[in-house]
Amino acid sequence: MAWVTYGVPIIVEQMGEAGYDAVLIDSQHGLGHHADLVNCLTAARAARLPALVRPLTPDAGLIGAALDAGAQGVVSPLVENVGDVEACVRAGSYPPRGARSWGPYRGRFLIDGDYLEQANDWVINCVQIETRGAMDNLDDILKVDGLDMVLVGPNDLALALTGARDIRKPEVVEACNEILKETQEHSVIAAIFANDIDYAKPLIAAGWDVISVGTDMGLLGGAAADVVKALKG
């Protein structure tokens, strides 16, 4: 899954051209405003990429806005407990399951037939596991009805568990392994962010369902640095 932070539509299209299976548009640690998000979601549809959005906060209004704009799912950050996750699922679901308000001005273009009838099954409700609270409540979180997917943020998880951003520390590796094990037991999709290829390869072998390697910002910066280094020695 491509991770897009710049908020530029053509980058989304380039990720589709590169062969990615899906895209996450990052509004938490990314650039751009709501209009940029809409443009990126339009580009995702053109590139035939299922698109998830990570909002700034797990706010019901932001979750609904992303879905109305055409996201297939929302990755809610900074959840701590069952109540937080239940609130995210309610925000991403129409009644009677949830409390999402009606107004899918772009979302309705992405489903054949009646959007309202299909949206609750089509939308992916996802939360991030990146805090000590989320780890402490992991088993109960994964039991929340309507939760489809969790995404592990190893960098923030490392900070939360160890106070340092070392994603290879034993405590962090153990936590990630525990998350994968429990998601498999609860039939929840397991996604994870990887800083680089070397970190990602063992994740594939371990059985993670969705893996993102770096961001558009990191890929561009790394490629530019490689060119400069090659030319300057």
Angle, helices 154-162 vs 170-186, to 10°: value is 120
Helices and strands, number each (H, E), in the chain:
11, 8
**Is 29 labeled as catalytic in the residue annotation?**
yes
**For residue 104, how far is the Cα from the chain centroid?**
20
- What are the structure tokens assigned to 129, written together? 């596991």
Buried b / exposed e over 121-143, threshold 16 CB at 10 Å, is eebbbbbbbbbebbbebbeebbe
Other CB atoms within 10 Å distance of the CB of residue 117: 11
Tokens of 16: 């589709």
Q: Which residues contact 216 (CB under 8 A, 6 or more apart)?
A: 2, 3, 4, 5, 6, 11, 15
Backbone angles phi, psi at 59, to 5 degrees: -90, 135
The answer to whether 40 touches 8, Cβ cutoff 8 Å, is: yes
From 29, 33, 34, 186, active-site residue? 29
Tell me the catalytic residues.
Answer: 29
